[in-house]
Amino acid sequence: MKDSSGTSLPQEPRGAHFEHLAASLFPACGFFVEWSIKQDIEGSEIQELDSAASRWQPGGQLRIVAEAKGAGLHTYDLFTLLGRRHYLGFERAVLLYGEATPDRDSLLSDCFKPHAVWLHHLDPKALYSPGGSKGLSEFLGELCRIDAAEINRKLEMVGCISAWRFSFWIEKVLIDELRRYFRCHRDQATVCHEAIDILEKINERFFRPDCRDQSSALYESYIEHARLTRRAVDEKVTQAPGSELEGLSSDDAFKACMYAGAVPAIQACMYLEHRSRCLLLKAAVDMIMHKRNRTLGQATIFGIPKEDCLPASFRSFVNDNMDTDGIEAYPQVWQSYLFTWGGFLLKEKLEAEHMRIGEDAGVGPEVVERALGAFDQLFPTDNGWKYEQESKSTQVLKLLPAAFRGLGVARRMWVCGKQLDQGLTYLTRRDFSDWLKAANALLQKDSSAGS
């Protein structure tokens, strides 16, 4: 990764990289973001959304569907986006584009803004120039109903946008590698096919407007494909070990995947399991907020309330957190912790770590500390979701791909510089080096790396 003698982000992003840049703006504004959302009907793709963002604010939830075009602006893109906003029932839509024609763009903005479709020229060079984010901050402040000065401060935070761009890139490569592996090993990769099915279920539930239906769909997939990563490792060892796992026992192979980032397709399984958990947390928080705002109507299945059909741990989480301060930001805390801070914390610097994650989500460190216990409530497991070793300086979330951990190391290096090494044990520094190497090795598999 950049700043770590590795893979760099392209200076002039095109295609998927421009879409990643556009999507990165929303978590920087404290929104929960989803990306590359595909809708299929009977196996045929009918649409793909570049990204969608949501955040609970005073008065309700603000939801924004976003489209990114690295080239210029076309009227049919705006009409398509207008249709998508109505189809989804979202409050706002935005088109971010790379090539400006100011006079025409201004006229189109005046035409579409009354229909809650916004547009803005996104200039990557200006965004990364000192003071260059001011105009974008003012636009995002109005679009997202947030103070523009606060957005500008976050956009200029060291590594904030870059971390999310790397995160989306890692996700893209993991999914690409998962699909490639399945194409090459079909009969020996049935568990990887299950992982692809999970991704399809994740996309499918997005288009269900009721958070109870979303939760039901996610839990159905979560239970049907239980222990996905472990089963993928076992299948790999017995069916097609390859050079990465050759001669290893099942347990040693699992450790190689968990700690060293071996086999990208299995890393993708880890990612999809955690993404499912994060989305279930989002659905639980949405249910809490709808209940608070009295916007959750009655719905039954054979006379049984829909929420009563969900697992006991889910219902308990909702009931126990109806009055919890800051609960609306828990999904943003977790997406930041998992996918840009590496799913680990430095044990001797917990307050500073919580504060950094809280800056992303727009909450204080005390909310972050509470939020990071949510997985233990929603998905109870033996010994909890985090593990520590006396010989290491970290508290680590289980089963997160090594590439995301490497990104977490890189982001701390951008913020702390050489001070990051102070007080770290030898084994922790070795972990950091291994995680960075895993992230760089994964990104270098992408044909668009550095383009």
Residue 148 sits in the same domain as residue 288: no
CA distance readout (Å), 89 to 62, 92, 116, 133, 315: 11, 9, 12, 30, 26
Within this chain, do residues 141 and 198 fall inside the same structural domain, yes or no? no
Instruction: Using the predicted structure, report yes or no on whether residue 442 has a pLDDT greater than 50.
Output: yes
**Structural domain ending residue among the three candidates 156, 190, 213:** 156
Residue 432 sits in the same domain as residue 350: yes
Residue 278: other Cβ atoms inside 10 A? 21
| Residue 384 and residue 248 in one domain | yes
* 263 and 132 co-located in one domain: no
Cβ burial 78-102 (10 Å sphere, 16+ → b, else e): bebbbebbeebebebbbbbbbeeee
Question: 3-state DSSP helix/strand/coil percent for the chain, to nearest 5?
Answer: 60, 15, 25
Question: CB 41: neighbour CB atoms within 10 A?
Answer: 8
183 & 138 share domain: no
* DSSP-H helix ranges across 294-343: 312-320, 330-339
Domain stop point among 117, 136, 156: 156
CATH of the domain at 110: 3.40.1350.10
Which of 134, 156, 178 lies at the terminal end of a domain, its last residue? Answer: 156
- Position 24 in a domain: yes
- Average pLDDT of the chain, as a whole number: 94
Using pLDDT thresholds of 50, 70 and 90, give the confidence band for residue 336: very high
Please report, in angstroms and rounded to a whole number, the separation of the first and last CA atoms in the chain. Answer: 14
Please check whether residues 240 and 120 belong to one and the same domain: no
- Rounded to whole angstroms, the maximal C-alpha distance in the chain is 65
Taking 50 as the threshold, does the pLDDT of residue 208 lie above it? yes
Q: What is the count of structural domains for the chain? A: 2
Residue 6 maps to a domain: no
62 φ/ψ angles, rounded to the nearest 5 degrees: -100, 120
Shared-domain flag, residues 31 and 124: yes
pLDDT (average), residues 359-380: 97
* pLDDT at site 40: 92
The answer to whether residue 2 scores a pLDDT higher than 80 is no
Give me the domain span that covers residue 254: 164-443
Let me know whether 231 and 311 are in one domain. yes
Distances in Å between the Cα of 276 and the Cα atoms of 168, 176, 267, 342, 450 are: 16, 18, 14, 17, 30
Chain segment 249-304, per-residue pLDDT in tens: 999 999 999 888 999 999 999 999 999 999 999 999 999 999 999 999 888 888 88
Residue 70 shares a structural domain with residue 140: yes
Inside any domain, residue 338: yes
Look at residue 211 in the predicted model and tell me its pLDDT. Answer: 96
**Residue 240 belongs to a domain:** yes
Same domain, 306 and 382: yes
Q: Are 209 and 54 in contact (CB under 8 A)?
A: no
Does 314 reside within a domain? yes
Residues 86 and 185 in one domain: no
- Look at residue 424 and tell me if it is in a domain: yes
pLDDT score, position 302: 86
Tokens found for residue 230:
């472990």
- φ/ψ region of 73 (left if φ > 0, alpha if ψ in -120 to 50, else beta) reads beta
Flag whether 302 is in a domain: yes
Q: What is the mean pLDDT of residues 179-191?
A: 94
Of 107, 7, 74, residue with least CA distance to 436: 7
- With respect to residue 4, please indicate whether it lies within any of the assigned structural domains: no
